[in-house]
Homo-oligomer: A and B are copies of this chain.
Amino acid sequence: MKPRESCGLFGIFGDEEAAVKTFFGLYALQHRGQESAGIAVADGAGALSGHKGMGLVSDVFTPAALGRLRGDRAIGHVRYSTTGSSTLLNAQPLVVRYAGGRIAVAHSGNLVNGSEIRRAYEARGSIFQTTTDSEVIVHLLADPAMGTLEEALPRALCRVRGAYALVILTPDRLIVARDPMGIRPLSLGRVNGSLVVASESTAFDLVGARTVRDVAPGEAVVIDEGGLHSIPLVPGGEAKPAHCIFEHIYFARPDSRIFGDNVHAVRSKLGQRLARDAPAEADVVISVPDSGNSAALGFSQASGIPLDVGFVRNHYVGRTFIQPAQTMRDASVKVKLNVIEEVVKGKRVVVVDDSMIRGTTSRSRVKALREAGAREIHLRISSPPHKHPCFLGIDFPTRTELIASKKSTDEIAAFLGIESLAYQTVEGLLSAVSGPPDHYCTACFTGEYPVHVDGELDKRAMER
């Protein structure tokens, strides 16, 4: 099972069909969260309301529900929970009233000191109705000690530590912000006269917008009738960036441009580098679709070993799935991917995957390839061995479940029962992106976190 991403954000200001465009924007970002979806909309005349629900964007937003969301400015959110269990109460945007009026907030990422701040506010008498970091941020913004909303932004966000991309809607303004390390992606775009913001540029493509630039790490952008202006969140300016490299490896869509690079191009380079660093003598290169596709293509190009389609994906994998019967233990794996026997039978096969988390799914895939007659299996992982949990927005399992934190590469190969296994090196990984190596967070591989983390942070801390 692949790790799941924290969230996807979209916002738009000054478009008569703000809610419809937000719907499409969230649709394009659906891969970033499938558990709940929400949109808040304002009309510039004081009204601010929202709708949210559990499930996919197209389930939550029926034409009727969407039709009720009138206004020319909107924000939206898709969510897979990183903090907070999955309930409707935790769906975002969070729409509240405070002394400053109505405000809607949506957040992507994960704070490492969210519980600490929450306890401080509880001690002052505040109550908390959700288990999300977003509610913590709203309490900070609503704190009268912080001043006006624009004053509050840098003051409040100085208090939080961790990863955040934020979109905030008030009756008259759309505000977006990104943590000083720019851990999660967030870009600004423009369509006709309107300003848009999204977690990934693929959302711009769908609504016909062009990318203008990334929201800078440590920058808040305030958009209102008068245009947009920037507010620095950190006194001394931007901190050293720590862009999440795993966005490039797995999460982001290949057609997106994030942190200055196209995701597909980065993944192709990862495959090329891997072919040079860890070559294999083989007859065919196959991908574990779809996340391994770009890297497999790169591996084939650099190695000269022909690419072929070894696995076929079932496009109708549903959400409510029947637990396979005892006699069909492998069905749950085959339901998603099936092997084309003709492609692998009697062949020496290079299998390219983007990452390996627990190793159990890989083992099932290996078994399926063997049953189809693969003679040799050489597994190539386009990222380094995964050894450390993430506290900044990606829901990896705990350290003890990460196979690479317990076994050496040779042991894993033996566990999988394959002829050879090779991972990308951290150096190889960083060679595929255009930014300086120290501008990326690689903590899940190296354990070097860009923020201070107290011991093994409890991922469910907010729920106590």
Q: Which residues of A contact B (CB under 8 A)?
A: 17, 20-21, 23-24, 27-28, 30-31, 34, 56-59, 61-63, 66, 88, 94-99, 119, 122-129, 138-139, 142-145, 192, 202, 205-208, 253-255, 257, 262, 264-265, 268, 290, 293-294, 297, 301, 306-309, 312-316, 318-325, 327-328, 330-331, 334-335, 338-343, 464
Whose C-beta in chain B lies nearest to the C-beta of A294? Answer: B309
Known: A20-B325, A88-B88, A254-B309. A331 touches B206 (CB 8 A): yes
Q: Which residues of B contact A327 (CB under 8 A)?
A: 17, 192, 208
Q: Identify the interface centre among A59, A94, A145, A331: most chain B CB within 10 Å of its CB.
A: A331
Q: Contact between A30 and B316 (Cβ–Cβ < 8 Å)?
A: yes
Q: Contact between A124 and B144 (Cβ–Cβ < 8 Å)?
A: yes
Q: Which residues of B contact A331 (CB under 8 A)?
A: 24, 206-208
Q: Which residues of B contact A205 (CB under 8 A)?
A: 334, 338-339
Q: Contact between A62 and B128 (Cβ–Cβ < 8 Å)?
A: no
Q: Which residues of B contact A143 (CB under 8 A)?
A: 125
Q: Which residues of B contact A316 (CB under 8 A)?
A: 27, 30-31, 34, 56-58
Known: A206-B338, A308-B297. A58 touches B145 (CB 8 A): no
A30 to B268, CA, bound (A): 32
Of B123, B264, B309, the contact of A309 (CB 8 Å cutoff): B264
Q: Which residues of B contact A59 (CB under 8 A)?
A: 318, 320
Q: Nearest-CB distance from A451 to chain B (Å)?
A: 25
Whose C-beta in chain B lies nearest to the C-beta of A267? Answer: B309
Q: Nearest-CB distance from A375 to chain B (Å)?
A: 18
Q: Which residues of B contact A301 (CB under 8 A)?
A: 306
Known: A262-B342, A309-B293. A315 touches B126 (CB 8 A): no
Q: Contact between A56 and B318 (Cβ–Cβ < 8 Å)?
A: yes
Q: Nearest-CB distance from A34 to chain B (Å)?
A: 7
Q: Contact between A62 and B335 (Cβ–Cβ < 8 Å)?
A: no
Number of copies: 4
Q: Contact between A128 and B98 (Cβ–Cβ < 8 Å)?
A: yes
Q: Contact between B342 and A265 (Cβ–Cβ < 8 Å)?
A: yes
Known: A57-B316, A315-B315, A318-B56. A206 touches B343 (CB 8 A): no
Q: Which residues of B contact A325 (CB under 8 A)?
A: 17, 20-21
Q: Contact between B144 and A322 (Cβ–Cβ < 8 Å)?
A: no
Known: A142-B127, A307-B307, A314-B30. A322 touches B94 (CB 8 A): no
Q: Contact between B144 and A123 (Cβ–Cβ < 8 Å)?
A: yes
Q: What 9 A-B pairs are tightest by C-beta distance, nearest first?
A: A58-B318, A30-B316, A262-B342, A99-B122, A255-B312, A125-B143, A96-B127, A17-B325, A98-B127
A316 to B57, CA, bound (A): 9
A95 to B330, CA, bound (A): 32
Known: A63-B322, A127-B142, A320-B62. A312 touches B342 (CB 8 A): no
Of B138, B262, B290, the contact of A127 (CB 8 Å cutoff): B138
Q: Contact between A94 and B129 (Cβ–Cβ < 8 Å)?
A: yes
Q: Which residues of B contact A255 (CB under 8 A)?
A: 312, 338-341
Of B28, B96, B127, B257, the contact of A97 (CB 8 Å cutoff): B127
A226 to B126, CA, bound (A): 30
Whose C-beta in chain B lies nearest to the C-beta of A131? Answer: B97
A328 to B20, CA, bound (A): 10
Q: Contact between B125 and A328 (Cβ–Cβ < 8 Å)?
A: no
Q: Which residues of B contact A142 (CB under 8 A)?
A: 122, 125-127
Q: Nearest-CB distance from A175 to chain B (Å)?
A: 16
Q: Contact between B324 and A24 (Cβ–Cβ < 8 Å)?
A: yes
A192 to B327, CA, bound (A): 10
Q: Which residues of B contact A56 (CB under 8 A)?
A: 316, 318
A96 to B95, CA, bound (A): 16
Q: Nearest-CB distance from A353 to chain B (Å)?
A: 16
A59 to B320, CA, bound (A): 8
Q: Which residues of B contact A207 (CB under 8 A)?
A: 328, 331
A264 to B20, CA, bound (A): 39
CB<8 Å pairs between A and B, sample of 18: A17-B328, A20-B324, A27-B316, A31-B315, A31-B316, A56-B316, A94-B129, A96-B128, A97-B127, A98-B128, A124-B125, A125-B143, A125-B144, A126-B126, A207-B331, A208-B331, A290-B313, A297-B308
Q: Contact between B322 and A20 (Cβ–Cβ < 8 Å)?
A: yes
A198 to B145, CA, bound (A): 43
Q: Which residues of B contact A119 (CB under 8 A)?
A: 99
